[in-house]
Amino acid sequence: MRKFFLLMTALVFTFQARVYADEGMWLLSLIGQVNMNEMTEMGLQLTAEQIYSINQASLKDAVGALDRGSCTAELVSPDGLLLTNHHCGYGEIQNHSSLEHDYLKDGFWAMSRDDELPNEGKTITFMIRMEEVTDRIVPELNEEMGMQERASKVRSLTETIVTEATEGNEYEATVRSMFNGNRYFLFVTETYRDVRLVGAPPESIGKFGHDTDNWMWPRHTGDFSMFRVYTGPDGKPADYSPDNIPLKSKHYLPISLKGYEKGDFTMVMGFPGRTSRYMTSWEVQESLEIDHPIRIQVRGIKLDLMMNDMMVGEKVRIQYASKHSRSSNYWKNSIGMRKGLKKLKVTEKKQQIETDFTQWVNLDEERKALYGSALNDIKTAVEGRRELQVASSYFIEAYFLGMETVMFGRNLRELEMALADPEPDQEQINKIITALKERAVGFYKDYNPPTDKKVMTAMVELLIDELGDEYLPSTILEVKTKYKGDAAKYVDKYFKKSFLTDQVRYNAFMDNPSLKVLKKDPGYQAVRASQKLYEIGGKMVQFEESYSRGTRLFLKGLVEMYPEKDFYSDANSTMRMNYGVVGDYYPRDAVLYTHYTTLEGVMEKEDPNNFEFVVSDRLKEFYETEDYGRYGVDGTLNVCFTSNNDITGGNSGSPVINGNGELIGIAFDGNWEAMSGDVAFETELQKCINVDIRYVLFVIDKYAGAGHLVDEMTLVE
């Protein structure tokens, strides 16, 4: 027994030692309790109140969630000017592009506020305040409750809390579960709905390196774009109107031209999407054997087919640029994640934690009663759902995400229900049709039937090859029977007969909608057949009870097992802060990657015959004359740098802030050697890749000639 406790002491020390300052996505309201001393020692000059305050303007007021959390952006002027990543604004840049105005290729700069481009559906959300409400929820729960009863109780309690938080104001509120359902936090937010495109560099800067350099270091990408937030004349959130005015920023970030040195303090604030740091070994294996391989396989096929068509015609290149970019990002992420999980032996490390946890639990009868079945519950659920998980993954990737008209056609479900009503409400039907026609404009603008036809044929063939009949939607089963497995023949008929594949036929149907025609349409039949996914999900419910209970109790037990450790909750698109330092790393034996790159590296990578590495003549002129203005130092212009901040998807566009609260860069990527980071943070290898703010300003001011935008900002020389 004495040996065991000596071992446990060592394990606690080891567990603590692995939690370096660079690891952790911390809730802002808690930083004063757990992080300030360490951050101050590392170089932070601010107080906790200057970072997060509900009584005065603070850093949190300058950082917002784009599109409900897909990316992060930061205010950099008193008039609502935003900076984020180029890839975060890519959809809007693409949407405004045409053969006549190719903003993807040439870039876009609004030379006056009248030139700023509105974007339907683009939003930014700022946090007003957050508050832990665990003590209002958890005491009302108990371990005898089943999952449904527990969820119902939580829902009832959170509705009351949200109602109280929004009473007498125009804010939004939500209560989010943290620490696998062991703690709960209230977030009160405000969302602005008029966000206009202000500027974006050409792809040769904003996406320099494209897929080849994605997730890689050294990096030379000017990954930024600019937007502006507008409000109604009263200063409140409003839909787009020519009468709207620029947001009067509560706080905006001053910008440092002083640069950084290795070891300098860095803080990143943003809205990280999802991590699974407390995942068990069985879940890691599930992702290694199912999730990542299927995503890699399916998206690899789709990406090749899209790129083939994009390389042939400029119109298709513009139409599919954003689609290809979104799909490719997580395709390559899965490749790197799978490789990293294996190389860093994450499964084995998780197994060691589980062994230690089991030993700790077995030392106490009360602990055995509470936590004794937690790990087995998780194991049983993950192993039991395996076949269903395979089917679900293929269905989502190949059917929903692989067939454009099926995804788009889901919008017609509301129309079907309205038409099927025994007493149809024509006024309501007309409203639905108007909305569907408006939605169709954007869809068909970026839709190329020949490309979708190729992808759909490949996806149908893949589903037939990979899934058993019990998991196939009825339309795909029909390919096996009626069409004798000939996917091309089925798809040919689909494209000839379905109005979803042609905008003219789509609008003609909308002008004279018929329930009978809708139900007979091959495209809509494919939409209705997607119900199979929900049947698969229904079968997975049998494993959710034990899985939910197991994951909740496992994490609760870990927190109790290591009482001296400051745990942070997994990312879930809520506002977080993390901190670290600027630094280099050794990716492999005898190889050192320095902590910054320069414009010289752009020129070294140039390949005029490869669209991924084209360099414009204008940028080369600045390089050759070393004309960088106040943004260069001694004839050198820094482009990107690395720090050991802890980020993930959703952090794209997050500000990288120095110890004085000044902006020094914009986070945009992680590095290839530590792609396992969403599951297990790798202290020695994991890096946050950032575009240097001085390169951003150089491109805006010198390259684009949009110095009026820089004049809005507060620069610290």
The DSSP code sequence of 247-279 is ---S----EE-S---TT-EEEEEE------TT-
Question: How far is it, in rounded angstroms, from Cα 84 to Cα 226?
Answer: 6
Residues 103-123, mean pLDDT to the nearest whole number: 97
Long-range contact set of residues 111-117: C-beta below 8 Å, sequence gap at least 24? 111/706, 111/708, 113/228, 113/246, 116/196, 116/197, 116/198, 116/228, 117/92, 117/196, 117/197
Q: Is residue 607 very low, low, confident or very high in pLDDT (cuts 50, 70, 90)?
A: very high
Backbone angles phi, psi at 118, to 5 degrees: -70, 155
Indicate whether 86 belongs to any domain. yes
SS3 state of residue 55 = coil
Residues 387 and 273 in one domain: no
Residues 452 and 376 in one domain: yes
Residue type, 680: A
Residues 490 and 624 in one domain: no
pLDDT at 292 over 80: yes
The dihedral over CA atoms of 287, 398, 420, 515, expressed in degrees to the nearest 10, equals 180
Residues 495-503, mean pLDDT to the nearest whole number: 98
pLDDT at 22 over 80: no
Q: Please, what is the end-to-end C-alpha distance for the chain in angstroms?
A: 62
Indicate whether 263 belongs to any domain. yes
pLDDT at 20 over 80: no
Q: 714 with 257: CB under 8 angstroms? A: no
Residues 653-672, mean pLDDT to the nearest whole number: 97
Residues 369-388, mean pLDDT to the nearest whole number: 98
536, 555, 578: which is the final residue of a domain?
A: 536
Q: Is residue 34 very low, low, confident or very high in pLDDT (cuts 50, 70, 90)?
A: confident
Nearest CA to 583 among 221, 257, 266? Answer: 266
Residues 482 and 620 in one domain: no
Instruction: Look at the chain and count its residues.
Output: 717
pLDDT at 19 over 80: no
Q: 676 with 338: CB under 8 angstroms? A: no
Backbone angles phi, psi at 248, to 5 degrees: -90, 100
What is the percentage of the chain residues whose pLDDT exceeds 70?
97
Residues 273 and 285 in one domain: no
Residue type, 450: P
518, 536, 554: which is the final residue of a domain?
A: 536
What is the percentage of the chain residues whose pLDDT exceeds 90?
95
Looking up residue 262, the CATH number of its domain turns out to be: 2.40.10.120
Distances (CA, A) of 463 to 303, 393, 539, 610: 17, 11, 19, 34
pLDDT at 7 over 60: no
Q: 535 with 353: CB under 8 angstroms? A: no
Residues 236 and 100 in one domain: yes
Residues 477 and 335 in one domain: yes
Question: How far is it, in rounded angstroms, from Cα 424 to Cα 689?
Answer: 56
Question: How far is it, in rounded angstroms, from Cα 336 to Cα 679?
Answer: 13
249 is catalytic: no
Q: What are residue 188's DSSP bridge partners?
A: 129, 173
Token readout for 560 is 């109790």
Q: 536 with 471: CB under 8 angstroms? A: yes
Q: Among the options 223, 264, 291, 521, which is catalytic?
A: 223
Q: 80 with 228: CB under 8 angstroms? A: yes
Kindly report the number of other CB atoms within 10 A of residue 643's CB atom: 29
Task: Residue 111: give the domain boundaries.
Answer: 20-123+193-277+570-716
Q: pLDDT by residue (tens digit) across 89-98?
A: 999 999 999 9
Q: Among the options 29, 392, 652, 654, which is catalytic?
A: 652
Identify the residue whose tokens are 């630094």: 583
Residues 285 and 360 in one domain: yes
pLDDT value at position 683?
Answer: 87
Q: 391 with 467: CB under 8 angstroms? A: yes
Give 365: exposed, middle or buried? Use CB within 10 Å, 0-12, 13-18, 19+. exposed
Indicate whether 1 belongs to any domain. no
Q: 83 with 656: CB under 8 angstroms? A: no
Nearest CA to 209 among 611, 666, 658? Answer: 611
Question: How far is it, in rounded angstroms, from Cα 253 to Cα 715?
Answer: 9
Residues 467 and 598 in one domain: no
Indicate whether 130 belongs to any domain. no
Residues 32 and 95 in one domain: yes
**3-class secondary structure per residue, 138-177:** HHHCCCCCCHHHHHHHHHHHHHHHHHHHHCCCCCEEEEEE
96 is catalytic: no
For residue 170, the Cα-to-chain-centroid distance in whole angstroms is 27
Segments in 482-590 forming alpha helices (H): 487-497, 503-511, 515-520, 522-529, 531-561
pLDDT value at position 682?
Answer: 87
Indicate whether 132 belongs to any domain. no
Reading phi first (left if > 0) and then psi (alpha if -120 to 50, else beta), residue 323 is in alpha
pLDDT at 11 over 90: no
Question: How far is it, in rounded angstroms, from Cα 274 to Cα 574?
Answer: 10
What ranges make up the beta strands (E) of 50-99? 63-66, 71-75, 81-84
Residues 468 and 520 in one domain: yes
Q: pLDDT by residue (tens digit) across 154-183?
A: 999 999 999 999 999 999 999 999 999 999
Sequential DSSP letters for 409-438: HGGGHHHHHHHHSSS--HHHHHHHHHHHHH
Q: What are residue 185's DSSP bridge partners?
A: 132, 176
- The domain tally of the chain equals 2
Q: Is residue 3 very low, low, confident or very high in pLDDT (cuts 50, 70, 90)?
A: very low
Q: 471 with 539: CB under 8 angstroms? A: no
Q: Is residue 21 very low, low, confident or very high in pLDDT (cuts 50, 70, 90)?
A: very low
Q: Among the options 58, 77, 86, 87, which is catalytic?
A: 87
Residues 585 and 706 in one domain: yes
Indicate whether 13 belongs to any domain. no
Question: How far is it, in rounded angstroms, from Cα 387 to Cα 389?
Answer: 5
Q: 91 with 320: CB under 8 angstroms? A: no
Q: 173 with 165: CB under 8 angstroms? A: yes
Nearest CA to 249 among 80, 127, 124, 82? Answer: 80
Q: 268 with 688: CB under 8 angstroms? A: yes
Question: How far is it, in rounded angstroms, from Cα 257 to Cα 444?
Answer: 44
Q: What are residue 230's DSSP bridge partners?
A: 194, 246
Supply the angle between the helices 386-394 and 449-466 in degrees, to the nearest 10: 160
Indicate whether 466 belongs to any domain. yes
18 secondary structure, DSSP code: T
pLDDT value at position 451?
Answer: 98
Does an H or E element contain 365, and which? helix 365-371
Mean pLDDT of the chain: 95
692 is catalytic: no
511, 536, 561: which is the final residue of a domain?
A: 536
Indicate whether 461 belongs to any domain. yes
